[in-house]
């Protein structure tokens, strides 16, 4: 059932809501997204239990890493978006993890061969050479990544027709990993349905997942938002497709 409030009320509420961290609890009852079948948090937990030193790159607010039931002796996370850093430190303190604030696209501030496990969920950009450098021989990289064309239907609802995606293809990730000296041992893909029940959910999502509509602001994109509100009101929830892939690689 769609929300009976006006578009302006829904948009104003979503524009004022906090988007710190990487949790999506604010969308409860307003939007849904299917989860990949492989269970990323479970896979990470299994590998953390066997690791001595582990690194989580682009941890967000540490929400996924915080689910680790048996953390390794050395656990480090990096985050490049300043508002997320204190959230991650609070969430990961019970695990004894160290959260390191880094600059976007900077080299990893760790010595060579520092970790036997590196993980990353939805990294902004994977620096494959740096990942290989900090992994010990025999170490593992495990990452769930956003695939090409994710939420394209939503992007086009706001921006209009777009050219075919030229990045985030799983095959490119495999080639880059192997070029950096890693051996890809597992690659899985999933296409997932995402549903938005009101325009407030759309606005909040676009504020948080900023690459869906680069440069998004309520004022700049209000005409498209109002048109999408009318579509949801008249036709029901708006659906889009999210693409994910899981990549596991080892350092020979």
pLDDT digits (tens, 9 = 90+) for 112-142: 999 999 999 999 899 999 999 999 999 999 9
φ, ψ (nearest 5 deg) of residue 206: -70, -30
Q: Which helix (H) or strand (E) holds 129?
A: helix 128-134
CA geometry: angle 99, 101, 104, nearest 5 deg:
135
- Predicted confidence at residue 5, as pLDDT, reads 85
| Percent of the chain clearing pLDDT 90 (strictly above) | 95
Asked whether the predicted pLDDT for residue 4 surpasses 80, the reply is no
Give SS3 for 114.
coil
* Contact of 189 with 247, CB cutoff 8 Å: no
Question: What CA dihedral angle connects 196, 201, 202 and 204, to 10 degrees?
Answer: -150
Signed CA dihedral, 81, 82, 83, 89: sign only:
positive
């Amino acid at each position: 059932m769609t929300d009976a409030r006006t578009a302006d009320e829904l948009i104003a509420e979503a524009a004022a809501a906090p988007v710190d961290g990487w949790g999506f609890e604010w969308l409860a009852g307003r939007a849904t997204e299917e989860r990949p079948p492989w269970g990323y948090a479970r896979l990470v937990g299994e590998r953390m239990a066997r690791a001595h030193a582990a690194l989580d790159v682009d941890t967000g607010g540490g929400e996924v890493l915080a689910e680790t039931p048996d953390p390794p002796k050395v656990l480090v996370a990096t985050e490049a978006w300043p508002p997320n850093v204190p959230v991650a430190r609070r969430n990961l303190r019970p695990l004894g993890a160290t959260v390191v604030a880094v600059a976007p696209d900077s080299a990893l501030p760790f010595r060579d061969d520092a970790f036997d496990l590196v993980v990353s969920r939805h990294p902004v950009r994977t620096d494959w050479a740096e990942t290989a450098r900090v992994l010990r021989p025999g170490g593992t990289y495990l990452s769930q990544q956003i695939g090409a064309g994710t939420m394209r239907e939503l992007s086009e609802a706001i921006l209009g027709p777009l050219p075919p995606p030229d990045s985030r293809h799983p095959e490119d990730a495999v080639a880059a990993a192997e070029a950096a000296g890693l051996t890809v041992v597992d690659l899985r893909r999933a296409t997932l349905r995402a549903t938005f029940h009101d325009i407030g959910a759309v606005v909040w999502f676009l504020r948080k997942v900023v690459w869906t509509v680069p440069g998004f602001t309520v004022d700049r994109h209000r005409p498209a938002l109002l048109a999408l509100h009318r579509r949801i009101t008249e036709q029901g929830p708006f659906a889009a497709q999210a693409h994910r892939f899981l990549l596991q690689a080892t350092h020979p």
